[in-house]
Structure 1
Amino acid sequence: MTDAARTAPRRAGRPLEKVLSRGRITIAALEVITIEGYGGFTMSSLARTLKVAPSALYNHVSSKQEVLQWLEDHVMTMVDVSGFGSEPWDAAVRRWAWSYRDVFARHAPLVPLVAVLPVTGAPETLKMYETVAVGLAEAGVPGETIIPAIVAVESFIFGSALDANAPADIFDTGDLADSSPTFTDAVRSQDRTSGAAPADAAFRFGLEALLAALESTRSGPHA
C-alpha cells in the first residue's frame, strides 16, 4: 500500500453504528428539560444538545410527542416499587404511591401522556405495573379487582402530582369569604392545625382511604 493510500481521507458515507438511539435521545431530552424546563423543550433544542441536524433526529423519532412518550417510560424507572415482595402489602403500596406522586410532581407535564399512553411500547411502565399487580395478587386482592385498584390509585396519584404544584393560596377565598363561611373556616382550620404541607396532608388522607378500600377486598390466607 502506498503512503497516499494509507493517508487518504475516509470516504463519506453511513457510519458503521447508529449515532442516535432511543436511549440517547431520551437522556438528552431529560437534560434539555432539566435545564430549560418543559416550556423550552423543542425538537430543535434536542437536536442541538445531541449535536445533530433536526433532519437527522427525525430519522429516529417521529415527533416531540413520541420523545415525551419515551421520556415518560424512562421516568417510570424512578418510581420505587422495591417494597413489593419485601414489605407488608400496604407499606409497599404506600412506598409506591408516594414515590410515584413525587416523581410526577417533578414532571407534571407528562401526566396527560401517562393517563392515555398504552403499555405497548413502554417496557418500563409495563414492568412497574407487573410488579404492583403481583404484589396485590400475593396480598389476596382478587384478580378482577387488581386493575380497577391500580387505575383508582394511579388516577389519584396523577391529580395529586398536579396538586403538589398548585399555589399555596389556591383555596384563599379573599373578598368572597363571607359568601362561603364554612369552606373558609375549614381552610383556616387546616392552616392552623396541619403540620404537613396541604398537598401532602390531602395525599395521605386520600391514599389511606384507598388502602382501606383495598383491605376490604382481600380474601383467603392473606386476609
Structure 2
Amino acid sequence: METSCPTHILYVDDDTEMTSLLDEYLSSEGFSLTLCHDGESGLEQAISGKSFDVVLLDLMLPKLNGFDVLKAIRQSSTIPIILLTAKSDEFDRVLGLELGADDYLSKPFSTRELLARIKALLRRMKFNQYGNTVASMDIGPMMFDCRAHQLFFNDQFVNLTGTEYSLLQLLALQKGQRVAKASISLKLFGKPLESYDRSIDMHISNIRRKLAKYTEIEIIRTIRPQAYMLIDHWD
C-alpha cells in the first residue's frame, strides 16, 4: 500500500531538552523532524535544497541569531516559518513578521498550541477557494496562479510568502467588500483574533510594500476599525 510522505519540519533551537521533547511529541503526531542547535547549522539545512514543509525557528541562537537566519532564508525561499521566542517584547514579534515570518509563538507554549499552529499554517499554504477547478484568477492587473500559489502583476512575478499570497487571495475573492480581521484570523490562522495581535497588519504591510514596486495605486485599503478591502476598480 502506498503511503504519503510525512510532513518534514526543520526545528532550530539551542534548548536541547526542548528539542528532544518536541521531537518525540511531533514524531508521535506523524511529523518528521530535523534538529539543529545553532543558527549556522539551521541556515545550512534550510538552504540545502532539502524539502522542508515548515521551519520552527528560535530567535536566541548561538553563532547566528534567529533574525539573521530568517533574513537569509527569505532571500531565496518562501518556506513557511514559525518563530519561537522566550522574549515577550512586541518589537521582536513585529520585526520577525516584517522580515517574513509566517507566525510566532512565545515561550513557554503548550505542545498542543504548537501543533495547532503548524496544522493551521499547512492548511494556509494549501488555501484555495476554487479547489482544483480553476487554474488562475484575474483581478485587474493581478493574476493569481491558484495551483502554484504565485502572484503576477502585469505578468511580473511578485515574490510573496505563502501566508501573504493566501491573505491577498482571500481579499481578492471578496474584492470591494469589507473583510474583518476577525474573519481573516479564523479562515487563515484557524484561531480567534486576539487583542493587540498585529500579525495580520504586518502581513498586509509586507504585501503593500511588495506591490508598491509595481503600482502607485492603493490596492488594499484599511477599513476602520478592524477590516481590510481589496479595491474592485483600477481607474
Normalising by structure 1, we get a TM-score of: 0.27
Q: Which has the higher strand share?
A: 2
Point out which structure has higher relative CO (alpha carbons under 8 A, 6+ apart).
Answer: 1
Larger radius of gyration: 1
TM-score w.r.t. the length of structure 2 is 0.26
